[in-house]
Amino acid sequence: MPVEVIMPKLGMAMKEGTVSQWNKTEGEAVKKGDPIASISSEKIEMEIESPADGSVLKINVPEGKGVPPGTVICYIGNPDEEVAATAAPVQEEKGQKEEIQAAHPAPPPKKPGKARVKISPVARKMAEASGIKPEDIIGTGPGGRITKEDVEQAIASAKESRKQDIPVQAVAEEPQRIPVSGMRKVIAERMHLSLQSAAQLTITMKADVTELLALQTQVKETIAKRYGSKLTITDFVARAAILALENHPEMNSAFMDNTIVTYLEIHLGIATAVEKGLVVPVIRHAESKSLIDLAKEIKEKAAAARAGKLPADEMQGSTFTISSLGASGVEFFTPILNPPEAGILGVGAVSDEAVFIGDKIEKRSRLPLSLTFDHRVLDGAPAAAFLQTVKQYLEEPVTMLL
């Protein structure tokens, strides 16, 4: 009897999963444990393995199609077995299907056993949109996997080649179109919802972190020997924000159903860039953690998120978020609230500046801070007081260790 392969539930909040790429075709032989497809949810991308030996009898869900958890996406069984007639494949929307078929005629079916091209889902979509065959691209990723950068290089090479053959007055090329799905779709929806549903205002300050950087250098060797870790600017900012939230609990709030909800615990979100977007690992009960424990958990969860191994449940439920673009050289920016939170703190890049200290000019290290808050929850004065408290802790770093 054919074995059903279902769309797994990758967390309590998961409503839909998308088949990013099929690694096997109908009729192709598989062994138990073989990766047969890549799937993605709102925050996670992973591979599904074959639950049994046999062949792929029927693929029920096409690439790029989102379905609820529990949906049968394919069947595995013996080549002579038949799938019940009720197991109809999930169809794409008629208009979309006709448009795709018109633009990209269906390729001939692959022969069972044909070597599979290793290519990331994003890279495959870019290649298809540009009319470039993945087989013609040399992959530079692990195991020869074709990456987004490899496709971009192939597109650039193809354009350069066409320039030599096409007259100067040729018509401009069609722009590439990449369907929005998976993590990018969720980010787009949530950010748009955030800007539509909250009265967002951003205020900025600069903190003098000269003493903080000196303390960071002073304890660097001790921290490395004793804890096998290091303290970063983000770790210090996180600690300062937590202490400031304890002093200003109105910032640790949310606006929901015409009600201001103020949380008693601090669940700190740390915005983390991953290959295909942005996720927010959550440090729960952050107010109860020491600076060292906080730093370790931030690093561990960020690493797990980048590797795609952090459970979805650990990326939800934050009450306040920190977003840093300092590593990219950005100073001030306008972070967007992570709904339904009332505040998000943006951290920029440290820079050396000439500052008057009394009547003397000194070189000081200054850190840009950008606080976006929901004006429905609190006004400018209390928001500025919160940011001033964060600044004070950063400028007097010893107080964060007491």
Dihedral over Cα of 177, 181, 184, 188: its sign: positive
Distance CA 368, CA 329 (A): 11
Residue 248 annotated in active site: no
Q: Out of 293, 313, 352, 379, which one is annotated catalytic?
A: 379
The b/e string for 58-84 (b: 16+ C-beta within 10 A; e otherwise) is bbbbebbbbbeeebbbbbbbeeeeebe
Instruction: DSSP letter for 53, please.
Output: S
- Hey, which residues does 76 pair with through a beta bridge? 3, 56
Q: Where are the beta strands (DSSP E) in 325-376?
A: 343-347, 351-357, 360-374
Distance CA 295, CA 231 (A): 6
Tokens of 354: 């000439």
Distance from chain centroid for Cα 164: 40
Long-range contacts of 122-127 (CB under 8 A, 24+ apart): 122/148, 122/178, 122/276, 123/147, 123/148, 123/150, 123/151, 124/21, 125/64, 125/178, 125/179, 126/151, 126/152, 126/155, 126/176, 126/178, 127/151, 127/154
Residue 379 annotated in active site: yes
Residue 15 vs residues 59, 109, 274, 312, 326: alpha-carbon distances, Å: 21, 32, 21, 12, 34
Residue linked to tokens 């000439």: 354
List all residues 6 or more positions away from 181 whose beta carbon is below 8 Å from its beta carbon.
Answer: 18, 20, 40, 64, 66
Closest CA to 280 of 10, 39, 43: 43
Pairing of strands 66-67, 277-279: unpaired
List all residues 6 or more positions away from 83 whose beta carbon is below 8 Å from its beta carbon.
Answer: 2, 57, 58, 75, 77
Residues carrying an active site annotation? 375, 379
